[in-house]
């Protein structure tokens, strides 16, 4: 009986190893197909880049053949003097408001009368 269990255990182990090997083989096939798809994509992109570089070369040749004026800095636009009166009026308004605010803070209110402080001798027992 012991011997049969050993064979059964060995058979199960072989089946598990075969199943794991088959899974690894399937994963390898999936990766191989991905790699071949990526290689085809890279090759197509390489061909596209070659075609674009050829077109760019042709455009550069055409541009170099056409006469063009020499490159120079653009002329600076003329600056017209803006009106200064809004700034002066704003400054005067700010100064007037500051003067009125300081004057209001310095003078006591019209309704408030100054009362003498109570003497310390009165009202204490």
pLDDT tens digit sequence for 5-50? 888 999 999 999 999 999 999 999 999 999 999 999 999 999 999 9
pLDDT at residue number 63: 85
Place of tokens 């071949």: 36
pLDDT band at 120 (very low <50, low <70, confident <90, very high): low
Full-model pTM: 0.40
The distance between the two most distant Cα atoms of the chain, rounded to a whole number of Å, is 123
pLDDT at residue number 125: 46
Which carries the bigger pLDDT value, residue 91 or residue 69?
Answer: 91
Rounded distance between C-alpha atoms, residue 108 and residue 52, angstroms = 84
Rounded distance between C-alpha atoms, residue 37 and residue 43, angstroms = 10
Task: Encode burial over 41-55: b for 16+ CB neighbours within 10 A, e otherwise.
Answer: eeeeeeeeeeeeeee
Considering just the CA atoms, what is the radius of gyration of the chain in Å?
A: 48
pLDDT at residue number 69: 76
Rounded distance between C-alpha atoms, residue 71 and residue 25, angstroms = 65
């Amino acid at each position: 009986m012991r011997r049969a269990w050993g064979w059964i255990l060995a058979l199960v182990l072989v089946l598990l190893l075969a199943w794991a090997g088959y899974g690894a083989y399937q994963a390898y096939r999936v990766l191989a197909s991905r790699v071949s798809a990526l290689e085809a994509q890279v090759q197509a992109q390489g061909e596209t880049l070659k075609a674009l570089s050829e077109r760019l070369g042709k455009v550069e040749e055409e541009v170099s053949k056409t006469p063009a004026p020499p490159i120079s800095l653009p002329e600076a636009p003329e600056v017209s003097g803006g009106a200064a009166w809004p700034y002066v009026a704003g400054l005067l308004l700010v100064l007037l408001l500051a003067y009125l605010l300081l004057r209001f803070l310095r003078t006591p209110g019209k309704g408030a009368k100054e009362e003498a402080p109570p003497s310390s001798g009165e009202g204490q027992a």
